[in-house]
Structure 1
Amino acid sequence: MADANSDKKAEKPVLSDPITLRVPQDILDDIEKIAETSDRSRSWVIVRALKYYLMAEGNDILQIRKGEEQIARGEFVDAEKFFAEVLDEKKSDAAWCGSGSPRMRRSF
């Protein structure tokens, strides 16, 4: 009897509808060489390349979009108010620590 973990391993990922993609011939040649050498399909190579893109540059773009959506919903902190609060806290800390330059008081 198979356990739940082995059933999960046997499941294949849900596939999307097929898409048509035009790529420059030199890129297609490289994809085909990689697929042949690694005994994989062209689709596998392309999906893997897209996953790497989505983890790097694609993720940056998605994070920018997320930030823009947060701004549109009013979910942000005004930079001037934020830095004013930080400076006020720093002044309070300096007054509490005594006189003199904060750099001179630090010991590491």
Structure 2
Amino acid sequence: MSYDEKSDISLRLPARTVEALDRIAQVLDRDRSWVMWKALDQYLANEGAEILRDAHGLDELDRGESVALDDALEKARMIVDASAVRHPRVG
């Protein structure tokens, strides 16, 4: 499905949520569907994307595609130590 294609869905919401959507739509001179689309789009870009990243990470762990904690900590120590040599603190 392309980005421009649309599908109808049915959604049951609390009356107060629908009223808020209608108030926002009226203020913006848009229809309720547009307001709902913007809200869902923002959710998918933020929380939804985080959920998908977490799921991807869990899938990698399930496949054994991970780094040992000790190896990761050693790499972090090396980076910090190298930075300390290049940028000594004065003070």
One fold, TM greater than 0.5? yes
Does residue 14 (structure 1) correspond to residue 5 (structure 2)? The answer is yes
Give 1:99's aligned residue.
none
Q: Which moved more, 1:77-86 or 1:50-59?
A: 77-86
Shift of 1:28: 0.2
Correspondence for 1:58:
48
1:106 is matched with 88
CA RMSD of aligned residues (A): 2.8
Report the AA paired with residue 15 of structure 1.
K
TM-score under structure 2 normalisation? 0.73
Gaps of 5+ in 2: none
1:39 aligned onto 2:29? yes
Deviations 1:31-89 (A, max 9, x none): 111112212111111010011111222222111111111112222111123324555x4
The one of the two structures with greater contact order (alpha-carbon pairs below 8 A, sep at least 6) is: 2
1:77-96 maps to which residues of 2 (within 5 A)? 77-84=67-74, 86-87=76-77, 89=78
- Mark the structure with the bigger radius of gyration: 1
TM-score for the superposition, normalised by structure 1: 0.63
Aligned identity (percent) is 31
Name the SS of the counterpart of 1:56 in structure 2.
Answer: helix
